[in-house]
Amino acid sequence: MTLPASDAAGRKPVVKVVFAGHVDHGKSTLLGRLLTDLGALPEGKLESVAESCKRRGVVFEWAFLLDALKAERDQGITIDSTQVQAESDNRRFVFIDAPGHHEFIKNMVTGAAQADAAVLLVDAKDGVQGETRRHAFLLGILGIRDVIVAVTKMDLVSHEQARFDDLAAQARAHLASLGFDLDRVNAIPVAARDGENILTRGGAMPWYTGPALIEYLDALTPGAAGSDAAGGPLRYIVQGVYKFDERRILAGRIVSGSLAVGDEIQFSPGNRRARIKSIETWPRPETPAGRPERADTGQSVGITLDQQSFIERGAVGSHPPALPHLVNAFRGRIAWFGTEPLTPGARYKIKLNAGEYLCIAEQIEHVLDAGDLSKSAASSVTRNQIADVVFRSRGLMAADAHGENPATGRFVLVADHRIVGCGLIDLEGFADEQRTKGPKSANILRVEHRIDRMERWRANGHTSGILWLTGLSGSGKSTLAVRLEEALFRRGKQVFVLDGDNVRHGLCADLGFSPEDRQENIRRVGELAQILAHAGVIVITAFISPYRADRDGVRARAGDLFHEIHVSADLAVCERRDPKGLYKKARAGEIPEFTGISAPYEAPFAPELTIDTAHENVEACVDRLVEYALSAFGGNGG
C-alpha cells in the first residue's frame, strides 16, 4: 500500500473521513475506540466520561467519548454530526461521526458533505439495513468514492469468517449497483470493544489477512472525493465577481479539468466567451513572474478576462466545444429530507454550481426502494424516501449528467430557506438548449448594449417581462390581451400585445400549422418578446401555443422575464363560442390539424396564473390580470 508523500514543509496530509451506517451499528463505538488507541483524546477525557457513567448509573460505552450532546447519551443515538481530530504516523485525520437514525438523515448529509472518504459500518449480527443502503446512496450523491466497509461487532457472531464474507459481498454489490468503483471499496472485520483489527491484526480473527483499519485510513488521499474530475472537461464555477484597482476578477473553484492563461473560456448560461488574461491568487505575487500560468481541479482561483463581459455568480466556465448542457428541465434522483412531502406542482429553489434557480416539481416518475432500487408509482415523496422526479426551472441552468461529470451533476433543493433534499442529475430525454437553435455562422458575435435592463426599468418607472397567454382558440386570449394592454397603458406602463393572427401577416407569414411550423412560430415570437422585454416593455402575447415543450423553450431562454398565464376554458365552451367559425370548419374537415379537434393542446402543469373564462366574466378576468401584472412589474425599477 503506497502512501502519498507529505508536503514540502513536512506536514502530514489532512484527510477527512465520515463514519456512516445504520443506527446502532457501532459508529460512535468504533470512533471512540480508534481515538483512544491513537492517543487522540484530550487529557482526562476517558476518566471523566467513565466517572460520568458511574455517577449516572450506566455502563461505560466507547461511544460516549463522541456523543457531544446530553440528549444523545440519554437516547443512546447520535443526533448531530460530530467532528474530531486524530493523528497517525502518516496522516492527520478529521473524523466525522454522522448520525444513523433516519430522523437525522439531513445531519448525516451535512457531515458527509465535507469528507474525502467514508467508513460504512455494517453490524455483523443485524446485517445490511435500510439506512446502510440509504447512506451508501447519499455518499454517492456527495461524490465520495473511497469507501471502507467495516463489518462491526464481530464478537457477537463468534468472529465467523463466513458471516463477514457474506456481509462484505452484500455491501459491495449494493455499492456497485450505485456506480461505485469496487477497486476503491475495501472491507474489514472489526470488534471495536476489544480493539480487534483497528491498529493491528490478529487476535480472535486470524483468518483475516488484510490491512488493519488504520492502514486503510493511512492510504487515503486528501481531496480524493473529487479526484475523478481531474481529467475531465473544464468546469470553473464562478462564486463571486470583485473589482480590484483596474481589474475585474472572477473568483471561483475548478471542480473538474484545468485552465491556463490564454485559454478561451465560454461561460454558461449566457454563452459569453473571452480569453483568460491572468490567474489571480492571494496574496498576490509582487512580480508577474511569480503569478501562476495554470490552475487545476480542486483549486480556488481568481481569473481576469481580456474583455469586459457580464458574468454572474453561478456561471460555469468551460473550454469550447466541451460545454455543459443548458437545460430548463431534468430528471433528479433525489433523497428527500423535508418534513412536508414533495408533491407535483410544488415550487422549490434548486442550488446548483453556486447558482440558484426557482423550479417546480413537475412529475414524480417513481419512488425507489432503498434496498434493491426497485421502482413503484407514487403521488408524493415523503421524508427520507428516494425518488426520480422531473424538475422544471424558470431559467436555463448549466449542468452535466451525474454520470458524465459528478462535480456539476448534483444539486440541493431548498424550501423556506431550509435544505429539503439533494439529488443527482439525469439528462436523458431532455433537450440541450446549448445545441438546439443558434447562429448558422461561426462569425456572428453579440453586440453588448451600453444601457442595461435596470437602467431602462428606472427610466420607465417599472420592470418588464412577458405575459404569455396560452389556451384553446376561443378561450378569450386576444380579448383579454388587448383589454389588459389598454388598462396598463392608462396606468403609464410601456406595454405591447403580440397576437397570434397579427404576426402571421408578417413575421411568420411563411409558416403553416404543422407541428414543425407551430414550433418555429412560437420560437420567433418568443425571441421577439424577449427583445422587447429587454427593451423595458411589458409584452403580452396571445397565442394558442399548444405544445408545452415550445412554451418551456421560451421560458428557458427568457428566464425570470417569462410569466405563463393559462386562459382556461374547456373545448365545449370554446366550440360554442367559435367567434371566427373555425371549429365549425374544423369539424367539417376544412381545417386540418386544428388544435382541440385534430391536433393536441397541452395545458400548462404549473402556470404563474390561471384565468377561468368559462366561469368568470371579462371584467373579472381583466381585473385579475391587471392585479397580477402590477404586482409582477410594479415599483420604479430601482
CA 278-282-283 angle, 5° bins? 115
194 C-beta neighbours (distance < 10 Å), count: 14
Q: Are strands 117-123 and 146-152 parallel, antiparallel or unpaired?
A: parallel
Distance CA 247, CA 252 (A): 16
Distance CA 17, CA 47 (A): 26
Q: Which residue has the cell 408545452?
A: 548
Scored b (16 or more CB within 10 A) or e, 45-77 reads ebeebeeeeeeeeeeebbbbbbbbeeebbeeeb
Cell numbers placing 368: 425507489
The predicted model gives 447-463 an average pLDDT of 85
Per-residue model confidence as pLDDT tens digits over 131-158: 788 888 878 877 788 999 999 999 899 9
pLDDT the model gives residue 73: 37
**pLDDT value at 178 more than 90:** no
Cell numbers placing 42: 484530550
Residues facing 330 on adjacent strands: 391
Sign of CA dihedral 253, 255, 260, 264: negative
Contact in structure between 263 and 276 (CB atoms under 8 Å): yes
Domains of the chain and any CATH numbers? 14-227 (3.40.50.300), 232-318 (2.40.30.10), 330-431 (2.40.30.10), 453-632 (3.40.50.300)
- Give me the percent of the chain exceeding a pLDDT of 70: 86
As a whole number of Å, the CA-based R_g of the chain is: 30
Cell numbers placing 439: 447562429
pLDDT the model gives residue 225: 53
- Residue 212 CB partners (closer than 8 Å, separation 6+): 188, 197, 198, 199, 200, 201
Per-residue model confidence as pLDDT tens digits over 239-282: 988 887 777 899 999 988 999 999 999 998 877 888 999 998 87
The predicted model gives 329-344 an average pLDDT of 91
Q: Are strands 82-87 and 92-97 parallel, antiparallel or unpaired?
A: antiparallel
Lowest mean pLDDT among 96-105, 294-303, 493-502, 569-578: 96-105
588 class by beta-carbon count within 10 Å (0-12 exposed, 13-18 middle, 19+ buried): exposed
**pLDDT value at 78 more than 50:** no
pLDDT the model gives residue 618: 95
Q: What is the DSSP string of 13-70?
A: PEEEEEEEESTTSSHHHHHHHHHHHTT-SPTTHHHHHHHHHHHHT----GGGGT--SH
79 class by beta-carbon count within 10 Å (0-12 exposed, 13-18 middle, 19+ buried): middle
Residues facing 366 on adjacent strands: 388
Q: What is the DSSP letter of 198?
A: T
- Residue 553 CB partners (closer than 8 Å, separation 6+): 328, 431, 433, 436, 522, 523, 526
Which has more confidence, 285 or 126?
Answer: 126
Distance CA 265, CA 318 (A): 5
Per-residue model confidence as pLDDT tens digits over 19-42: 888 777 777 788 888 888 888 776
Per-residue model confidence as pLDDT tens digits over 338-353: 889 999 989 999 999 9
Q: Which residue has the cell 401555443?
A: 545
pLDDT the model gives residue 232: 84
Distance CA 602, CA 613 (A): 18
Distance CA 634, CA 628 (A): 10
Average pLDDT, whole number, for the chain?
83
pLDDT the model gives residue 67: 56
Distance CA 454, CA 636 (A): 10
pLDDT the model gives residue 21: 81
| Number of residues written out for the chain | 638
Backbone angles phi, psi at 627, to 5 degrees: -60, -45
Q: Are strands 418-426 and 272-280 parallel, antiparallel or unpaired?
A: unpaired
Distance CA 526, CA 504 (A): 14
Distance CA 106, CA 383 (A): 10
Angle in degrees, 0-180, between the axes of helices 548-558 and 515-534, rounded to the nearest 10: 20
- Which amino acid is located at 453 in the chain? R
3-state class (DSSP) for residue 589: coil
The beta strand positions in 354-417, using DSSP E, are: 355-368, 375-376, 386-399, 410-415
Contact in structure between 513 and 463 (CB atoms under 8 Å): no
Distance CA 140, CA 410 (A): 10
Report if pTM > 0.75.
no
Angle in degrees, 0-180, between the axes of helices 477-490 and 618-632, rounded to the nearest 10: 50
pLDDT the model gives residue 438: 54
Distance CA 199, CA 427 (A): 45
Cell numbers placing 72: 444523545
Band of pLDDT at residue 637, cut at 50, 70 and 90 = low
3-state class (DSSP) for residue 260: strand
pLDDT the model gives residue 104: 41
Contact in structure between 296 and 230 (CB atoms under 8 Å): yes
The predicted model gives 455-459 an average pLDDT of 90
pLDDT the model gives residue 324: 94
Q: Which residue has the cell 423553450?
A: 553
Scored b (16 or more CB within 10 A) or e, 428-465 reads eebbebbeeeeeeeeeeeeeeeeeebeebbeebebbbb
Q: Are strands 258-260 and 92-97 parallel, antiparallel or unpaired?
A: unpaired
Sign of CA dihedral 488, 545, 473, 574: negative
